[in-house]
Amino acid sequence: MPADGRAESPPQWLRLADAGLSHVEDSLNLIAALAVFFLMFVGVAQIIGRTVFDFAIYGYIDWIEQASSLFAFLGIAYAQRLGSHIGMDLTIGWRPEVRWKIELFGVVLAIAIITILIYASFTNFLRAWSIGDSTMDIRLPTWPAKLMVPLALSVLWLRLSLQICGYLRMIAHPDAQPVAVPKLITLETQVQDEIAEALGREELNREQGR
């Protein structure tokens, strides 16, 4: 805490970078959601077509394979920003200063792995582009789907870089307002969420019992 008792204010560049990258992540996540909707629609049309009209969508498997890269990777940076990836928090009762350091270690390890994956996936894209790789059935080019992987991972790399800056700031100023990092879940907030969820279930049961 500063001498005047006020919490350390976040740097302007960090807030602007976080806001700008958040818009990109939101857009990519929307594309991923539309891809899921598209696959659901195509899947229903395929089932109805084959069952009722004895008609199948041309190249159905190939389209599904190529579209899967959209919803599988485009939302990964969005989930990282919100801290919604599946994980087990063993340090929920520890002091915030210690937990920020553990989070920083995890992000540094993640960005090292993502850097390797970006290089490998981009090399895979270049190979598909150069040899004209395509699907087996209707000969769809595979490079657009393969390009989605390094692009999505690059956005994730930027998010992890911002989180490193954010965690370093929180380690230096534990009482500051978190910016560019997910908020830590405390025992109090976890209990409150569980109470709210339980009350919500009870309210739903009462509504259904009427």
What is the DSSP secondary-structure string of the chain?
A: --TTSPPPPPPHHHHHHHHHHHHHHHHHHHHHHHHHHHHHHHHHHHHHHHHHSS---TTHHHHHHHHHHHHHHTTHHHHHHHT-S----S-TTS-HHHHHHHHHHHHHHHHHHHHHHHHHHHHHHHHHHHHT-B-SSS--BSHHHHHHHHHHHHHHHHHHHHHHHHHHHHHH-TTSPP-SSPPPPPHHHHHHHHHHHHHHHHHHHHHHH-
pLDDT for residue 58: 81
CA pair distance 134, 140, nearest whole angstrom: 5
To 10 degrees, the CA torsion angle through 115, 118, 120, 126? -150
CA pair distance 189, 196, nearest whole angstrom: 10
Mean pLDDT by 10 residues, the chain (210 residues): 55 90 94 88 86 81 85 89 71 69 91 96 94 85 92 96 92 84 63 55 55
Whose CA is closest to 181, among 189, 191, 171?
A: 171
The answer to whether the pTM exceeds 0.85 is no
The answer to whether the beta carbons of residues 75 and 159 sit under 8 Å apart is no
Q: How many whole angstroms from its chain centre is CA 68?
A: 15
CB atoms within 10 A of CB 76: 20
